[in-house]
Amino acid sequence: MLLDDKYRSKVADFGTSRSVGVDQTHLTTRVSGTFGYLDPEYFQSSQFTDKNDVYSFRIVLVELLTGQKPILEAGSNDGRSLATHFKLAMKECNCFNIFYARVVKEGGKDEIMRVANLAKRCLNLSGRKRPTMKQVAMELEGIRMSNGAPAVQQQYEELEYDEDVLVATWDTVSTSTSSHMINNTLSPLYVQPLLSSRTR
């Protein structure tokens, strides 16, 4: 988490911490950032926008849900990134098999799925179809306050899975560039519960 000149928090890393004016985009000839968190749209267009933060934050959400790092260990899950691994699990309705045991134990099923669906929307390879960070924060607060209330109707278009080819290409680039990241599971000491503990 970084702060801008007005002390507003930004989800980013030092590779992308250049000064860009509020409500402006940034075009660069050199893409910088940490693979695994870097938005594929930024990687392809070299244009940094506010929706790049949304994608990066989505990776953080998936890390908290699964207890895994953004670049999986070489040889595991066919070398896929965490983003693709999560996307495939959501597509196959098999996501609870990849969720961190502590999250499943302490969070309600409906809460977990609402966070997972939010993360999936932030994943969309088209920045225009992602929610804003303000909308993400409001929805997370709503989930926290409702403590397992029925899920609200989705306001954003569901992720289109014909993007698989593009994501697979991105995986090849990210895994080959980041092969030094070999640990695919976070220690429980570094994973804090994303959802409120059950009191019922």
User: CATH classification of 2-14+22-178, choosing from 3.20.20.140, 3.30.750.24, 1.10.510.10, 1.10.357.10?
Assistant: 1.10.510.10
What pLDDT shows up at residue 156?
A: 41
At 121, list the tokens: 């929307």
- Dihedral (CA of 107, 108, 113, 118) sign: negative
Which among 92, 72, 94 has a CA at the least distance from the CA of 82?
A: 72
H-state helical runs in 67-162: 82-91, 101-106, 109-123, 133-146
For the chain, the structural domain boundaries read 2-14+22-178
Higher pLDDT, 182 or 94: 94
Query: What radius of gyration do the chain's Cα atoms show?
Result: 17
Which among 60, 101, 104, 97 has a CA at the least distance from the CA of 82?
A: 60
For the segment 51-77, what is each residue's pLDDT rounded down to a tens digit? 777 777 878 888 889 988 877 665 555
pTM for this entry: 0.55
- 48: pLDDT strictly greater than 50: yes
